[in-house]
């Protein structure tokens, strides 16, 4: 399908980065990881970037004792803190009424699962109470996010902050228990969707840290965690998240219509309509003039007031996929059609690779607890998912895993950086890994790994690179022995972070990795490049450690031995 967008050829200029990496020996046609020479720390004035990151954790930490925690930069209006139905009001929360001039209310009923309480049932959106401190990404993202928190947790543990990391995980237990699921973030308008599933990885990371200090306490904590892991995983097996009859999962949001959190960028949906009208050659089912296309009554909210242009509206199907895209975390790209308006139709590589690793992790944790029967159930579930992924997602023609459109029964041809996820999950055979690496070379640039080769103007496409996907890629590559490419990408992304830091003294949520010297310019959607930034801080630290050792300490146990074929 022609999208009417510019495709920029990948850059091949790696000379500077190659000078930074030690040569890696080659054995059996595989790269063997060797520790590159670490680069000297950069400074903004007299403050090294590492110290900026270390100082940043405090400024990004929130708790229910702080007025700054309640504020929502995305919405106008008064702040409200919601507690679970019937939950006693802690004194620290009660104090917010006078201290911060906020309302404190209870949710109208108990929530057992996602969708039991719809955000529209609450007159005023607000912050959902969490019992422990947590770290926010930064900027407009002033709440605890689902997948951001995994990468943030890695950074906290790398600096010895076990208490804060464990509190974040226990906040997710609280969300599952009281809000029905791990939420996109702890705001009421996120009650209908989750985010990419990393809880098993988080539990494993915290457990191993605790176990080094106090094995008995670690085991007791792990036993407490297991029911929450099972409940979190069950969300992705629910009917709403089934990718047809493939045995795989999809992203899906139980809500409808435009998302409230776009209030601070209220032109977005009109921008989508304008683009679709300007590109009639792109065939979609996203536009309508029918009255039933009206997703909400005019003036019902700041977002709803900006969902029509020259009589055209977006269809309910577009809004379902728009919401599903936001559950994926990749908002916005053209990966699943223009503005990812067909997300609900796909079984994505990223989600199913994460669930495969999740199932293996849970199996491993049950083994640590001595429950071999449970461990086998989860290993069998992982094997079943691997079989389905090889059937539907593996594209032997291109030599990479690809997203599968289960409605039209075809694999996507849109190369995306999430092709690296099967390496991180330990899912790929050696042969699959080798061909995947050849595909990923086209996304490798001076400043790191770009999300795609498609310049759509969206923040999750070229020329932009993001910390979480760059980390998953290099971590997976290191486990399969691709030390040279791992070092090139890690050095490149760290260079992007340092270069920006030296220019303006900040760390950002995303970077132009094709040309790190250029500012990030996004045409539609989230147009700002937020300062903070939780997962970038963490990934910088983790990459620095990986470059010293040359190999991840957390490789999946299923990675095949070198030289074998599966």
Helix residue ranges per DSSP H, 243-335: 268-278, 316-328
- Cα separation, 126 vs 122, in Å, equals 9
Say what the pLDDT of residue 79 is.
82
Say what the pLDDT of residue 32 is.
36
- Cα separation, 491 vs 497, in Å, equals 10
Say what the pLDDT of residue 522 is.
86
Closest by CA to 196, choosing from 362, 328, 335, is: 328
Say what the pLDDT of residue 372 is.
98
Task: Render 125-175 in DSSP notation, one character per residue.
Answer: --EEP-SS-EE--BTTB-S-BHHHHHHHHHHHHHTT-HHHHHHHHHHHHHH
Report angle CA 229, 232, 236 to the nearest 5 degrees.
Answer: 130
Say what the pLDDT of residue 506 is.
93
Within the chain, which residues score under 70 in pLDDT?
A: 1-46, 292-301, 561-566
- Hey, what are 277's tokens? 């009208």
For 179-190, what is each residue's pLDDT tens digit? Answer: 999 999 999 999
Exactly one of 232, 265, 331, 395 is catalytic; name it: 331
- Cα separation, 30 vs 432, in Å, equals 13
Are the C-beta atoms of residues 143 and 185 closer than 8 Å to each other? yes
For 211-221, what is each residue's pLDDT tens digit? Answer: 999 999 999 99
Among all chains, which residue has been given the structure tokens 């086209």?
442
Instruction: Indicate if the alpha-carbon torsion angle 529, 420, 22, 555 is positive or negative.
Output: positive
115 to 201, 234, 238, 255, 552: CA distances (angstroms): 25, 14, 12, 8, 38
30 to 239, 357, 485: CA distances (angstroms): 41, 23, 11
Report strand pairing: 287-288 vs 312-314.
antiparallel
End-to-end CA distance of the chain: 34
Say what the pLDDT of residue 556 is.
87
- Cα separation, 389 vs 539, in Å, equals 28
Exactly one of 148, 205, 403, 509 is catalytic; name it: 509
Q: Is 402 exposed, middle or buried (0-12, 13-18, 19+ CB in 10 A)?
A: buried
Q: Model pTM?
A: 0.91
Say what the pLDDT of residue 292 is.
60
Instruction: Indicate if the alpha-carbon torsion angle 469, 473, 476, 479 is positive or negative.
Output: negative
- Residues whose CB is less than 8 angstroms from the CB of residue 222 and which lie 6 or more positions away in sequence, other chains included: 203, 207, 365, 368, 369
Which helix (H) or strand (E) segment holds residue 287: the answer is strand 287-288
Are the C-beta atoms of residues 184 and 146 closer than 8 Å to each other? yes
Instruction: Indicate if the alpha-carbon torsion angle 207, 208, 209, 211 is positive or negative.
Output: positive
Helix residue ranges per DSSP H, 287-441: 316-328, 349-368, 372-392, 421-424, 430-440
Dihedral of CA atoms 274, 280, 282, 285 in degrees, nearest 10, equals 70
For 406-433, what is each residue's pLDDT tens digit? Answer: 999 999 999 999 999 999 999 999 999 9
For 202-240, what is each residue's pLDDT tens digit? Answer: 999 999 999 999 999 999 999 999 999 999 999 999 999
Residue 509 designated active-site: yes
Say what the pLDDT of residue 16 is.
31
């Amino acid at each position: 399908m022609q999208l009417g967008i510019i495709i920029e050829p990948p850059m091949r200029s790696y000379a500077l980065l190659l000078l930074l990496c030690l040569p890696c020996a080659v054995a059996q046609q595989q790269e063997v990881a060797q520790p590159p020479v670490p680069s000297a720390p950069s400074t903004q004035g007299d403050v090294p970037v590492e110290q900026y990151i270390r100082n940043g954790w405090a400024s990004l930490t929130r708790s229910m004792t702080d007025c700054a925690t309640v504020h929502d930069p995305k919405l106008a209006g008064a702040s409200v803190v919601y507690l679970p139905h019937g939950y006693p009001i802690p004194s620290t929360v009660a104090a917010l009424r006078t201290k911060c001039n906020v309302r404190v209310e209870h949710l109208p009923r108990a929530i057992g699962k996602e969708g039991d309480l719809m955000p529209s049932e609450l007159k005023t959106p607000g912050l959902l109470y969490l019992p422990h401190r947590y770290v926010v990404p930064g900027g407009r993202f002033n709440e605890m996010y689902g997948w951001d928190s995994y990468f943030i947790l890695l950074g906290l543990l790398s600096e010895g902050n076990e208490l804060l990391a464990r509190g974040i995980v226990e906040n997710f237990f609280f969300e599952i228990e009281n809000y029905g699921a791990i939420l996109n973030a702890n705001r009421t308008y996120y009650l209908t969707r989750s985010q990419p599933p990393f809880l098993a990885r988080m539990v494993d990371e915290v457990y191993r840290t605790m176990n080094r200090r106090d094995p008995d306490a670690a085991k007791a904590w792990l036993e407490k965690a297991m029911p929450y892991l099972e409940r979190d995983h069950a969300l992705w097996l629910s009917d709403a998240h089934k990718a047809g009859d493939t045995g795989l999962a999809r992203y899906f949001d139980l809500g409808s219509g435009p998302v409230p959190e776009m209030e601070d960028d209220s032109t977005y949906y009109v921008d989508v309509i304008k683009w679709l009208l300007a590109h009639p050659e792109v065939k979609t089912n996203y536009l309508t003039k029918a009255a039933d296309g009206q997703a909400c009554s005019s003036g019902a909210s700041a977002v709803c007031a900006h969902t029509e242009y020259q009589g055209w509206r977006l269809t309910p199907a577009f809004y379902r996929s728009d919401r599903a895209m936001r559950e994926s975390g990749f908002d916005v790209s053209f990966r699943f059609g223009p503005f990812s308006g067909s997300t609900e139709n796909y079984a994505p590589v990223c989600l199913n690779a994460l669930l495969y690793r999740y199932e293996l992790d849970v199996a491993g944790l049950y083994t640590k607890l001595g429950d071999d029967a449970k461990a086998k159930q989860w290993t069998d579930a992982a094997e079943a998912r691997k079989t389905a992924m090889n059937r539907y997602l593996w594209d032997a023609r291109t030599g990479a895993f690809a997203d599968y459109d289960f409605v039209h029964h075809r694999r996507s041809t849109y190369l995306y950086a999430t092709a690296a996820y099967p390496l991180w999950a330990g899912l790929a055979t050696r042969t699959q890994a080798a061909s995947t690496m050849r595909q990923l070379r086209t996304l490798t640039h001076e400043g790191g790994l770009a999300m795609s080769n498609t310049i759509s103007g969206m923040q999750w496409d070229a020329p932009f690179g993001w910390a979480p996907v760059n980390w998953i890629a290099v971590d997976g590559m290191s486990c399969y022995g691709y030390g040279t490419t791992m070092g090139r990408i890690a050095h490149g992304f760290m260079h992007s972070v340092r270069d920006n830091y030296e220019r303006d003294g900040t760390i950002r949520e995303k970077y132009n990795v094709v040309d790190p010297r250029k500012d990030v310019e996004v045409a539609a959607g989230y147009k700002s490049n937020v300062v903070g930034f939780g997962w970038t801080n963490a990934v910088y630290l983790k990459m620095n450690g990986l470059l010293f050792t040359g190999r991840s300490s957390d490789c999946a146990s299923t990675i095949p031995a070198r030289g074998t074929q599966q």
